[in-house]
A and B are shown apart, each in its own frame.
Chain A
């Protein structure tokens, strides 16, 4: 769909990896008409200070997110599963390296 040049192009979400081995984290967004320019724009906007060694861009419209109304159903059920954490378990005195 053409917008006669008034548009700033679609929005892309930018994820940057600070150093090799680290996870890619959301850095922000850029506008760009296509994927290659989105990558280049993300580079200029979000790694001006050497903050990235790898960049992902994803069209914002392709991101699916939970809604605030989902919060109870999605996340509360995991907050009483105390047995998933190591602190839940007791160890006989003197036993190491468990």
Chain B
């Protein structure tokens, strides 16, 4: 991908790159290449949409959480995700787009979000696995993004990483407890891991050789590591955790390489990845329908609040 935009002069680009290379943080009002802005809006809004759509598979179990403690944890966690979506939309808004616009793009099917949320959550152990694997993968990615060169994105990420600390842990605890439980519970965990393992590896995105945006994002330090590096880090982290609770990861090719100290793994089904990204996953249609329905059914509420604010000059003072 070429990064030179008509309006960006080579001198500007060079000065910008010098700032990046010097480790400076880019703030909203600073000059930035049009392409940098565009890539950031794309990334941050995808990330925000992922948080919001990601509320749905977990929300599916809220009313069936099997203990009051688990119900509270799950509710707090999903609520956090709403908050994280909100922080991220705000970060995107610093780049001159409006949240309304971004949400419209999502609802029109023009924006992407993480493919992982297009898989169904079918048994209670899915809730644990989403925390352990899906949030686990997200944390690897987000820890890297906390050091991104764009200030508002970095600050949102720092806050999110801090809050997400418990998300992965609660999931793992839930699974560890189920693995110590009855045969039925153990079977639920294994079933959930079987279904979520490969999709969670896909969360890091296509392999570096097929990732068109990676090069420029690394150059601008929007990303600090490649997709494959992050994926490997996640796998290395996760295999011992799986062993510790006695759950089997569904990959016969998983093998520790003494030389590289990495866990080698089998071939990811990229056809499945691209199919889900393009809208053909098991739940793409339902997820978007649910988001659109919430938005449409909320329209009269937003209109009412707007009308009330106009009548009572709401922007001026608290009631």
Contact = CB atoms under 8 A, between A and B. Distances in A.
Asked whether the complex places CB atoms of A and B closer than 8 A, the reply is yes
Contact of B83 (A4, A7, A45): A45
Contact of A33 (B29, B80, B308, B318): B308
Interface residues of A, number: 27
Where chain A touches its partner, the secondary structure class is: loop
B307 interface: yes
A34 B93 contact: no
B11 interface: no
Interface string B82-94: 0100110010010
Interface residues of B, number: 39
A39 B318 contact: yes
B314 A5 contact: no
A18 to B, nearest CB: 14
Given A29-B93, A34-B315, A68 B27 contact: yes
Nearest to B82: A45
B93 A4 contact: no
Given A28-B90, A36-B319, A2 B27 contact: no
Nearest to B307: A2
B246 to A, nearest CB: 33
A36 to B, nearest CB: 4
A28 B155 CA distance: 9
Interface stretch (B34-42, B187-195, B297-305): B297-305
Given A5-B300, A28-B90, A45-B86, A33 B104 contact: no
Contact of B305 (A28, A33, A35, A39): A33
Given A30-B86, A34-B308, A68-B27, A7 B318 contact: no
Nearest to B310: A2
B175 interface: no
Nearest to A49: B163
Interface of A: 2-11, 28-31, 33-37, 39, 45, 48-49, 59, 65, 67-68
